[in-house]
Structure 1
Amino acid sequence: MSAKKVTETIARFRNDILNGTLPFGSLLPSEKELAAEMQVSRPTVAKVYNALQKEGLLKKTPGQGTTVVFNGERKKYTFGLLLPGAGESEIFGAIHDHFLAIEKEKEPKFLWEGAIANHAQVRQNSIIKICERYIEENVSGVFFAPLERTENAAGVNKKVCELFDKENIPVILIDRDIYSFPERSQYPVIGLDNFNAGYIMTKHLIESGCEKIYFCYRKDSASSIYKRIAGCNSACFDAGIPFSREHIMVGEPADLNFVRKMKIVPKKTGVLCANDSTAAVIMSSFKQIGILVSRHVLVAGYDDMKYGKVLQPSLTTYQQPLFEIVTISYEMMLNRLVTQHSIAANISLTGELIARESTKFA
């Protein structure tokens, strides 16, 4: 059963319990019986029952079965969404939409200040005020995608978490940690397996004919970049292709002098960019200096932004598992509220390579 199907099954049972179709004291089918009825594995059914138990709707008692313990009174949660990167990347808008879908099930309430701003420095100046408003609203927990693209991002991210810690408000980190790899914070992190994503995309470029790989990103990018670089390095090592500091390009993709620093060997060079935004600008800059993507060089990015399909050539990218990231984050938050116990769990999910024209030599 897919993660989406599990979520739908949880929602169906939840609704039946809340509307009284399954009243207090009802004995539910055993995991084995329900698994046979739904034609899924017993562990899959266990996930459904466990999730509802964490919400305080069911109770699993060894030797007695699973019963409904909801008696008509249930705490309503309000959560704060702190997604400052929504001003630059579509993925955080999509993440918000997935949280909104959870809200529409009439369960929690999610507070969101929107994209905040397109400029990273403005977002930095606004984020602490938003945290203070969430604390005033007495939120039950916060889902936080750490700030990036500013020099003091690490300090601001740490301060954000400390503000909520002081009020005993649990924080779940989305997409990345507040510290750079290999350092690790005390907060749960749910996001993409960035090492694997770096490896997969680099391997794709190599299999497409590249014998020289560059990894390009903007200064002060998210800490997840370092895991992607590590994956890129590993794929090059396995293929016997040199990869060192000179292949890691840090700068503004619109700066033609910066782009010229990449020594392009026609039909043998690939450029893996930290995200689709960087890749799109790199492609434009290459064109301005007479280097054509798919003819002379291959380019790929991450996040599967909508505009990637209409670029010329269309952009190869890596699609993040956003639905799964939100679902698991929410389940982890509920568990944190029920058990009052937090561990620095790191849940890394795989995405999907979307191959397009930008990684095919013409």
Structure 2
Amino acid sequence: MTNAKPLYLQIYDDLRISIRNQSYSPGDLLPSEKSICERYSASRPTVARALKMLSEEKLIERRAGFGTQVLAPEQSSLTAGLLLPQIMETEIFQPIAASIINAGITSELQISSPYELNRPQDRKAVTLSQAEQFIHKKVNGVFFAPLENIPDPQSFNRSVIDRLTSQGIQVVLLDRDIYPWPRQTPYDLIGIDNIEAGYTMANHLLEMGCHQLAFVSQENPAMTVKLRKIGTREALIHNGLSARSLLRIHYDIEQPAEAAKQLLKANVDGILCSNDATAASILRAMFDLGARIPEQIKVCGFDDVKYASLLSIPLTSYKQPCEDIGRIAVETMIHRIQHPESPPHRIALQGNLIARSSTARCRPQ
């Protein structure tokens, strides 16, 4: 156990979280005081103090000769919905959503997920339907990841936000704004600094000995990808190279070999891919064409999704702090609901470079 705070508070926090996430359900008995003392190497007065705090919150009831029984937790008056229409397409949204739900439990913010639709719908229709569900539930706030790769996304996402806020629902944006940088909407936004992410990955490739970099993405990429490209160009400038030397390759998800052929023809030795899914396809296509990775070409991605380390050539990637994003998003939402007049918070968290074999430095032959 950590010594960052008194032991009775550590015991209180652990038991409270277990009750809130229903590891102990209403009606269950907590372990005896003696068992709790042994578990935490604590004295009886220390454990009794923690249990007294839980009793005062009406989370437990202590009865002589019977034990300590868990009560049904009182429902929080604050509610928020998860509006993540691309959660099945963008892998980082799943751990972010899980973190929001967990942080909601400990912060007493009830998190509501939308009902699944039984019939096929386009992404815009799904987003609108889910927004209406939250309006019907009268939630206090909505976590919204704006929709991308649709016609005129700015107008559509703006209409979703306007619909929610017209009903008095507060909005906290996740991962991205709805406008191109540097224009900003007047709403809270929690995500990473994508310019810093691009700079970090490009600088890593240059430190590994690369001289000709390429950035691979689909046509009309998301604004987050464009910001990563800006960071890549900044790294080139800071290393005494021309930003114009950056080769930009458009990637077709159905024909990754075409992008790979262009990269080989251009004698590129360092490739940044817009995300890990793109990088995985490019790695496979380059390998099939006989490219030697990382000896000839080094490849990296962004987001560090769960399969990045499992590829035949483990992928270097930029890991997003998904747990922190979710936790801070909940804190921001609670503040926004309680203080709707306060200025917007735009929080850009820093991730980490996870270096693997795809960008390893090679010894001179």
| Equivalent in the alignment of 2:284 | 284
Matched, 1:208 2:178: no
Offset at residue 73 of structure 1 (A): 8.8
| Equivalent in the alignment of 1:257 | 258
- Larger mean Cα displacement after TM superposition, 276-285 or 236-245: 236-245
Q: Trace 1:42-61 onto structure 2 (pairs within 5 A).
A: none
Q: Aligned partners of 2:108, 2:150: CA distance in 1, in Å?
A: 35
Contact between 1:212 and 1:242, CA under 8 Å: does it hold in 2? no
Q: Aligned partners of 1:345, 1:100: CA distance in 2, in Å?
A: 21
Q: Trace 1:61-140 onto structure 2 (pairs within 5 A).
A: 76-105=77-106, 107-113=108-114, 122-140=122-140
Q: Per-residue CA shift, 1:324-351, capped at 9, x if unaligned? A: 1111111111111112214333211101
Percent identity of the aligned residues? Answer: 32
Question: Relative to structure 1, is the Cα distance of residues 116 and 214 closer, same or farther in structure 2, using a 3 angstrom cutoff?
Answer: farther
Offset at residue 276 of structure 1 (A): 0.5
Offset at residue 155 of structure 1 (A): 2.5
Q: Secondary structure of the equivalent of 2:178?
A: coil
Question: Relative to structure 1, is the Cα distance of residues 183 and 98 closer, same or farther in structure 2, using a 3 angstrom cutoff?
Answer: same
Contact between 1:150 and 1:220, CA under 8 Å: does it hold in 2? no
| Equivalent in the alignment of 1:243 | 243
Structure 1: segments with no counterpart, 5+ residues: 20-71
Structure 2: segments with no counterpart, 5+ residues: 21-72
Q: Aligned partners of 2:358, 2:15: CA distance in 1, in Å?
A: 45
Question: Relative to structure 1, is the Cα distance of residues 115 and 315 closer, same or farther in structure 2, using a 3 angstrom cutoff?
Answer: farther
Question: Relative to structure 1, is the Cα distance of residues 249 and 345 closer, same or farther in structure 2, using a 3 angstrom cutoff?
Answer: farther
Contact between 1:273 and 1:302, CA under 8 Å: does it hold in 2? yes
TM-score by length of 1: 0.75
Offset at residue 94 of structure 1 (A): 0.5
Greater Cα radius of gyration, structure 1 or 2: 2
Q: Aligned partners of 1:150, 1:286: CA distance in 2, in Å?
A: 30
Q: Trace 1:1-362 onto structure 2 (pairs within 5 A).
A: 12=13, 76-105=77-106, 107-113=108-114, 122-244=122-244, 247-255=247-255, 256-263=257-264, 269-362=269-362
Contact between 2:140 and 2:168, CA under 8 Å: does it hold in 1? no
Question: Relative to structure 1, is the Cα distance of residues 206 and 116 closer, same or farther in structure 2, using a 3 angstrom cutoff?
Answer: farther
Alpha-carbon RMSD: 3.2
Q: Aligned partners of 1:14, 1:337: CA distance in 2, in Å?
A: 27
Q: Aligned partners of 2:74, 2:205: CA distance in 1, in Å?
A: 56
Q: Secondary structure of the equivalent of 2:106?
A: coil
Q: Aligned partners of 1:347, 1:250: CA distance in 2, in Å?
A: 30
- Larger mean Cα displacement after TM superposition, 287-296 or 134-143: 287-296
- Larger mean Cα displacement after TM superposition, 323-332 or 339-348: 339-348
- The AA in structure 1 aligned to 2:204 is H
Q: Aligned partners of 1:200, 1:99: CA distance in 2, in Å?
A: 27
Question: Relative to structure 1, is the Cα distance of residues 221 and 125 closer, same or farther in structure 2, using a 3 angstrom cutoff?
Answer: farther
Q: Aligned partners of 2:154, 2:245: CA distance in 1, in Å?
A: 23
Q: Secondary structure of the equivalent of 1:90?
A: coil
* Moved >4 Å (runs of 4+): 13-16, 72-75, 114-117, 263-266
Offset at residue 102 of structure 1 (A): 2.4
TM-score by length of 2: 0.74
Q: Secondary structure of the equivalent of 2:307?
A: helix
